[in-house]
């Protein structure tokens, strides 16, 4: 059985290719996590998460994930572990919560 976890596994094209040739794909699940309702009263985070990958001999290899602020395009966080990304998103949502 082949798991199709990444956008390129399902025929997805990169959303962006930078000047170094790295392919950027929106990570839908982590982007949705920025506003998931199970976090109680935490405010949504206006951010989008991307997989950054490289293509070598026709094979796409994931390198990391990058969380980008939707308003400023600032890099908020970078990590290759999905659990770390989810916790960081929750932390940002928590610190942005009104007292």
Beta strands 75-79; 16-17: pairing state = unpaired
Q: Which residues pair with 65 in a beta bridge?
A: 51, 79
**Contact call for residues 66 and 50 (beta carbons, < 8 A):** yes
Which segments of 3-90 are extended strands (E)? 16-17, 23-26, 47-56, 59-69, 75-79
CB 31 within 8 A of CB 15: no
Look at residue 67 in the predicted model and tell me its pLDDT.
Answer: 98
Instruction: Decide if pLDDT at 91 tops 80.
Output: yes
Boundaries of every domain in the chain? 7-95
Partner residues linked to 56 by β-bridges: 59
pLDDT band at 96; cut points 50, 70, 90 = confident
Q: Is the pLDDT of residue 61 over 70?
A: yes
Tell me the pLDDT tens digit for each residue of 2-42. Answer: 778 899 999 999 999 999 999 999 999 999 999 988 767 88
Render pLDDT for 46-59 as a digit per residue (tens, 0 to 9): 999 999 999 999 99
């Amino acid at each position: 059985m082949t798991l199709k976890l990444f956008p390129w596994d399902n025929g997805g094209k990169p959303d962006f290719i930078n000047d170094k040739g790295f392919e950027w794909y929106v990570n839908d699940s982590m982007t949705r996590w920025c506003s998931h309702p199970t976090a109680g009263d935490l405010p949504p985070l206006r951010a989008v998460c991307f997989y950054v990958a490289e293509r070598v001999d026709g094979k796409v290899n994931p390198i990391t994930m990058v969380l980008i602020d939707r308003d400023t395009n600032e890099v908020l966080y970078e990590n290759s572990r999905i659990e770390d990304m989810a916790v960081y998103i929750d932390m940002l949502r928590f610190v942005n919560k009104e007292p």
